[in-house]
Amino acid sequence: MKISVSGIRGIFGKDLTLRDVLKFSKNFSVLINSKKCVIARDTRPSGHMITETVKAGLMQSGIDVYDLGIAPTPVAFRESRKYGAGIIITSSHNPIEWNGLKMVINGKGVNEKQLDTIINEQNPSKSKIGAEYKIESDYIDDAAKIIGRISDIPKVSVDIGGGAAKEFSSQLLEKVGCDVITINSDFEKSSRGPDPTTDPLQELVVNTKNRDIGFAFDLDGDRLVIVINGEKKNPDVTPGIGVVKALELGYKNFVLSQDTSISIEKYIKQKGGTVFRSKVGEANVAEKMIETKSQVGGEGSSGGFILSDFNYCRDGILTSGLIASIIKKDEFADALNFMEKYHIIRDKVEYDSEHHDGILKVLHGKMKEKFGAVETLDGLKAIVDEDSWALVRKSNTENVIRVSAESNSLEKVRNIHQEIKDLIKESYEQIK
């Protein structure tokens, strides 16, 4: 089981059981001051069982449950602003055998302190049993107001990936004026895996060769990957183009996670904006946004873009509409060309989780010796030069160590990436 501010995740029936789900749901109930909680789930086969268990844990603790059914994470986040809390039954982009819980208080993902409450045994005060209600969301209408009507009718292909975005993404894009083709609508017939950042998206690539843009979602609709002219783009392009729209709307302060492309930071600064960096993870980006009074956040590795006036989470569905509204403008092409001068490699290495802390401790010294100063905001980040960096950190969502590197030289980033992996291997050999 993997527990972090990104959610509680595990292989269902193996290291995440219904007993765990019941415990975490009951513990979460003590944080819900409104006594109301929105529930949503993605399309995983285990979702229904877990949903009913979550409801039982909350209702037993006196919480009224407002069920959206199968609905994307951004929709549940939006509704939790109204009701006070939310639980989404999802493990986002993880393999199908996984599932989990993403918990929300007042429209924001839980922080470290709230997570401690959720994982440690609580004793909710006895009260009457909560009630259950079915609800629908005004998300599409609300998002359309932010995006506005698109006059030039962009041709858009949407790859649902068999996920929860099915009833939302295409409807929103059509409502704002796009010509939409939808593929992989049904979970059972989807031609690809749950994570669009790693999947080659072959069907969408073929489908977009004569269209303006393609959008691919993960199972819960918070991640978004773009395909243009039959070419899948790096996930950092999503927040990068989102930033173009945000600047057009007049936003000035931005938060980027530690592993987000430096090209986005440079672009923002060139346009007169201010950039702050946060730990990796949606909740960490959102928390830094609140701290710095920033209106916009981005997490490149997950294709994540946050517009706080609408939602305090990665919102792939809203972002697809925002991007569609500018794809025929010069700023879109300019930003894309600027970003594509940079090359980023993301990888993961698998060692037993009991060794992760020891590896990073030894690695810190090796990276300092190799690259000079090392930042420790989130894992270990070396700034190689003004256009190059490397980051090593423990994953929030899997039992792996993540390795990221970027440079404006493809040869250089490959060399940096390999050097870091060699240092990790040396560090592991040293602690064995």
| Residues designated catalytic | 92
Residue pair 280/301 in contact by the 8 Å Cβ criterion = yes
Query: Which residues have C-beta within 8 Å of that of residue 270, sequence separation ≥ 6?
Result: none
How many other β-carbons are positioned within 10 Å of the β-carbon of residue 329?
14
| Letter string b/e over residues 77-97, b meaning 16 or more CB atoms within 10 A of that residue's CB | bbbbbbbbbbbbbbbbbbebe
Residue pair 301/259 in contact by the 8 Å Cβ criterion = yes
- Cβ burial of 110 (10 Å; 0-12, 13-18, 19+) is buried
Return the closest-CA partner of residue 348 out of 217, 202, 198.
Answer: 198
Residue pair 413/406 in contact by the 8 Å Cβ criterion = yes
What is the spatial distance between Cα 245 and Cα 431, in angstroms, rounded to a whole number?
A: 48
106 beta partners: none
What is the spatial distance between Cα 420 and Cα 413, in angstroms, rounded to a whole number?
A: 11
Pairing of strands 132-134, 155-159: unpaired
Token pair recorded at residue 156 = 């858009």
What is the spatial distance between Cα 399 and Cα 332, in angstroms, rounded to a whole number?
A: 37
Question: What are the phi and psi torsion angles at 142 (to 5°)?
Answer: -65, -45
- DSSP label at residue 327: T
